[in-house]
Structure 1
Amino acid sequence: MTKPNVPSPVWLTSNEQLASACEGWLQQPFLAMDTEFVRTTTFFPQAGLLQVADDQQCYLIDPLVIDDWSAFAAVLQHSGVTKVFHACAEDLEVCRQLTGVLPSPLADSQLAAAMAGLGSSLGFQKLIMALLDIEIDKEETRSNWLARPLTDEQIQYAVADVHYLHQIYPMLEQQLQNLQRLEWLQEDCARIIDELSEVEVPGNYYQRVKLAWKLRPQEQHILQRLVVWREAEARLRDVPRSKLVDDNSLWNLARYKPKNKDQLAKAGVRKDIIRHDGPLLLQIVEQAQQDERELWPTILDKPLPPDAGQLLKNIKQMVAERAEALNIPPEILARKKPLEALLRSGWPNSRYQLPESMQGWRLAEIGSALLQMLNESN
């Protein structure tokens, strides 16, 4: 096992320095990227640092002093430069928050590792150990990235992430090419960007509330109105959603329809929110009960009936066996939500249809076999 040995970074602390670096990055086939941020008391991530590695240097971009991100946005969108992240979800949000765009084409090394048969949801530390036999320190993950100056430990940690990511991506890419799976990675990463690029509809957010399906149709409408209010206010005040009203309390408001502040408290709403927003919450609940049925949302699906349970087990078993043969995690081949959508598409006696997320490379590897089995079961 080798100890980390990372280079000294190049700091980019002005708009001009960033723009100059971006000119060089546009000539690179790929860039390793990472972000550090703080998000404990805010709705939006507060960027503390951006890291980039090319074939020459590692760079640290200071978002606390840079305010012109146009050149960096051009790099993120350049079709000839692959942007490589590890477990990219939160990094993509930071990029969009700063620049207004998402990186494309994208490559996620965690997803690549899973497709190459190295393991499921592999952390960066374990991936570097597996491929380079180097143990890197991850103790600075939750440190304060908004502080200045950053400590030597923070800087080394930040540089190591992109320094080694730049080294392992060609290794992962080669492994996937050998397995004829590089297109899998490209397809799934493009889908990630496509899904994030879709315009979010606040009126659909109520679907994410646990057990929302248990509410009656009108109550789902009340929940929808409450969730729309919370989303707008959380963004406006830049606070986490749960700091306003958590999901469980919103469900209680929709179900029990409070008429006064005492009943808001019984539903789980915090005292400070009752003082500040109580009258408006009561008004939303009251008004939603008066809305016409035409304004009610589409009723959420109930859980699959018990007699569909065995069929769901059967298709999950098919996925597990095929995943084992491919030496990849079952969730890479087909996650639970698409499998349930597949089952709902034809249950109990109609023709089954694959959801969009099971098209592409998954159609040949498992989709066609699942369709055949399900349609023959009718």
Structure 2
Amino acid sequence: MSKPNVPVPVWLTSNETLAAACKDWLHEEFLALDTEFVRTTTFYPKAGLVQVASSKGCFLIDPLSISDWSAFTDVLQAESVTKVFHACLEDLEVCRQLTGAVPSPLADSQLAAAMVGLGASLGFQKIIAALLSIELDKEETRSNWLARPLTEEQVQYAVADVYYLRKIWPMLVGQLQQLQRTDWLAEDCARTVEEASETDVPGNYYRRVKLAWKLRPQEQHVLQQLVVWRELQARERDVPRNKIIDDNSLWNIARYKPKAKDQLNRSGLKPEMIRRDGNTVLAVMREAMEDEKDLWPAVLDKPLSPDAGQLLKDIKQIVVNRAEALNIPPEILARKKPLEALVRSGWKTGRYFLPDTLSGWRKNEIGDVLLAHLNQSASEPECS
């Protein structure tokens, strides 16, 4: 296994130097990109570095020195330039935070690696070792990227990420083409861009709270309103959500509905949270309890019945078998939530429908097979 050997990067620390580089990047077929950020005490990521590798070299953009991102935004949105990331979700958030734009067209090397049979959710270090026999040091991952000057180790680490990403990308594209799976990647990455570009709906976040389905309909509405309030406060104060109130406490408040501040501690709230936000939390709860039923959200699904759960296990096994035949991870072919949505779509009626996430290439590879199995199960007496 070889040690990394990366080039000296070009630093872009002014609006003018960034704009000049972006002018050149608009002529590239693809760019390898990465971001480094800090997000330990804030809601939003604080960008510390943006790395770019082009055919002409490696570049480090200093976000602490840049005030005009318009030229870089043009690059991120240029249809002729593919933006290649590895495990891109957090990077997309950083790009959107800096520029207001989500990179498109997008390619994700982690997803590409899974689609060519290298494994599921592979870290960058493992992919580089597998394809280039180079051992990367990842010790700087959680270092302070807002510090200046950056250490030589940080710079080497940051450059290596895009330098080697640019080297492996043509290799992954070649394998995708050989397997006739380039459309798979394009479709999934386009969906990722679409989802990352969507406007957040805080009213849906309560669905993420564990065991929210156990609450009564009105209590689910109370939880929803409490979660909306917390979300807006976390963004306004730029702190992590649990620094406002954690999920368990919100669930307890929605379920047990304390009547006064001195009862909030039983819900799990810390004293400082009660002092700071206790009265507001109680007001949000009371107001939600007074809302008419037509303002309540649709009741959350309960866990599948034992019979439906067995059907879910059956189609999961079909997915596993098909994934083995394709030499890809089962979760690339179909994840649990879409499979559960598929079972729910027709459990009571016997008429099953594929969710959007099982459309496209997945419909051909697994969706139609699953529908056929479910329709056959629905026609059997024990499942009717």
Matches within 5 A, 1:156-235: 156-235=156-235
- Distance in 2 (CA, whole Å) between partners of 1:312 and 1:20 is 54
Specify the code of the residue in structure 2 equivalent to 1:146.
L
Secondary structure at 2:287 match in 1: helix
- Distance in 2 (CA, whole Å) between partners of 1:296 and 1:309 is 28
Matches within 5 A, 1:259-270: 259-270=259-270
Unmatched tracts of structure 2, length 5 or more: 379-384
Q: Which residue of 2 aligns with 1:17?
A: 17
Matched, 1:252 2:252: yes
Is the 8 Å Cα contact of residues 14 and 65 (structure 2) preserved in structure 1? Answer: yes
1:11: how far off?
Answer: 0.0
Q: Which residue of 2 aligns with 1:345?
A: 345
Task: Tell me the alpha carbon deviations over residues 125-144 of structure 1, each in whole angstroms, 9 at most, x when there is no partner.
Answer: 00000000000100000000
Unmatched tracts of structure 1, length 5 or more: none
Secondary structure at 1:84 match in 2: strand
Is the 8 Å Cα contact of residues 96 and 102 (structure 2) preserved in structure 1? Answer: yes
Q: Which residue of 1 aligns with 2:290?
A: 290
1:348: how far off?
Answer: 3.2
- Distance in 1 (CA, whole Å) between partners of 2:89 and 2:296 is 32
1:199: how far off?
Answer: 2.0
1:196: how far off?
Answer: 1.7
Is the 8 Å Cα contact of residues 9 and 58 (structure 2) preserved in structure 1? Answer: yes
Is the 8 Å Cα contact of residues 93 and 196 (structure 2) preserved in structure 1? Answer: no
Specify the code of the residue in structure 2 equivalent to 1:292.
E
TM score, norm. by length of structure 2: 0.98
Specify the code of the residue in structure 2 equivalent to 1:6.
V
- Percent identity reads 71
Deviates more, 1:103-112 or 1:259-268: 259-268
Matched, 1:327 2:327: yes
- Distance in 1 (CA, whole Å) between partners of 2:20 and 2:215 is 56
1:121: how far off?
Answer: 0.5
1:155: how far off?
Answer: 0.2
Q: Which residue of 2 aligns with 1:313?
A: 313
Matched, 1:111 2:134: no
Matched, 1:272 2:272: yes
1:2: how far off?
Answer: 1.3
- Distance in 2 (CA, whole Å) between partners of 1:284 and 1:95 is 34
Specify the code of the residue in structure 1 equivalent to 2:138.
K
Deviates more, 1:259-268 or 1:18-27: 259-268
| Aligned-CA RMSD value | 0.7
Aligned residues: 378
Q: Which residue of 1 aligns with 2:382?
A: none
Specify the code of the residue in structure 2 equivalent to 1:306.
P
Q: Which residue of 2 aligns with 1:28?
A: 28
Matched, 1:5 2:5: yes
Matches within 5 A, 1:32-181: 32-181=32-181
- Distance in 1 (CA, whole Å) between partners of 2:199 and 2:160 is 35
Specify the code of the residue in structure 1 equivalent to 2:186.
Q
Q: Which residue of 1 aligns with 2:381?
A: none
1:262: how far off?
Answer: 2.0
- Distance in 2 (CA, whole Å) between partners of 1:325 and 1:47 is 42
- Distance in 2 (CA, whole Å) between partners of 1:141 and 1:195 is 26
Secondary structure at 1:31 match in 2: strand
Task: Tell me the alpha carbon deviations over residues 131-173 of structure 1, each in whole angstroms, 9 at most, x when there is no partner.
Answer: 0000010000000000000000000000000000000000000
Q: Which residue of 2 aligns with 1:355?
A: 355
- Distance in 2 (CA, whole Å) between partners of 1:270 and 1:9 is 48
- Distance in 2 (CA, whole Å) between partners of 1:47 and 1:371 is 45
Task: Tell me the alpha carbon deviations over residues 285-325 of structure 1, each in whole angstroms, 9 at most, x when there is no partner.
Answer: 11111111111111101111111121111100000000000
- Distance in 2 (CA, whole Å) between partners of 1:271 and 1:69 is 43
- Distance in 1 (CA, whole Å) between partners of 2:302 and 2:377 is 22
Secondary structure at 2:51 match in 1: strand
Specify the code of the residue in structure 2 equivalent to 1:70.
S
Deviates more, 1:192-201 or 1:57-66: 192-201
- Distance in 1 (CA, whole Å) between partners of 2:291 and 2:23 is 55
1:226: how far off?
Answer: 0.2
TM score, norm. by length of structure 1: 0.99
- Distance in 2 (CA, whole Å) between partners of 1:284 and 1:54 is 51
| Runs of 4+ with deviation above 3 angstroms | none
Matched, 1:372 2:383: no
Secondary structure at 2:262 match in 1: helix
Is the 8 Å Cα contact of residues 35 and 51 (structure 2) preserved in structure 1? Answer: yes
- Distance in 1 (CA, whole Å) between partners of 2:168 and 2:338 is 31
- Distance in 2 (CA, whole Å) between partners of 1:267 and 1:227 is 15
Task: Tell me the alpha carbon deviations over residues 4-44 of structure 1, each in whole angstroms, 9 at most, x when there is no partner.
Answer: 00000000000000000000000000000000000000000
Secondary structure at 1:11 match in 2: strand
1:276: how far off?
Answer: 1.2
Secondary structure at 1:258 match in 2: coil
Specify the code of the residue in structure 2 equivalent to 1:170.
P
